[in-house]
Amino acid sequence: DAKTTQPPSMDCAEGRAANLPCNHSTISGNEYVYWYRQIHSQGPQYIIHGLKNNETNEMASLIITEDRKSSTLILPHATLRDTAVYYCMNAGGTSYGKLTFGQGTILTVHP
């Protein structure tokens, strides 16, 4: 199973950028980097995904290093509603829709 490593928790001040790191040491060439978040008792919410280029959407930016062994999710202006567990994963190829969730990072945004 594809494994990723994330810090267990992070704090961020409201209005500041939140930068969440992830190590993808076992990522293979045809796997994408995915980020999801989960607010307590709700289903995981898709944030962003990418292969090797940096990506940006209305929610966040994704920075992937050149060797693809690590990525950073950036929430440019964190709000209290961004407090959640953030999961990074690498998936694709023959995994047939299987996402392997780790323990994630608990991001707490405080006033």
Partner 1 sequence: DAGVTQSPTHLIKTRGQQVTLRCSPISGHKSVSWYQQVLGQGPQFIFQYYEKEERGRGNFPDRFSARQFPNYSSELNVNALLLGDSALYLCASSSGTGVTGNTIYFGEGSWLTVV
Q: Which residues bind partner 1 (CB under 8 A)?
A: 30-32, 34, 36, 41-46, 49, 51, 87, 91-104
Amino acid at 35: W
SS3 category, 35 = strand
Nearest residue (CB) to partner 1, 66 versus 94: 94
Residue 63 structure tokens: 């920075």
Name the pairing type of β-strands 31-38 and 45-50. Answer: antiparallel
Amino acid at 38: Q
Smallest gap, in angstroms, from Cβ of residue 77 to partner 1? Answer: 23
Smallest gap, in angstroms, from Cβ of residue 97 to partner 1? Answer: 4
Whose tokens are 């966040």? That residue is 60
Nearest residue (CB) to partner 1, 31 versus 82: 31
Smallest gap, in angstroms, from Cβ of residue 44 to partner 1? Answer: 5
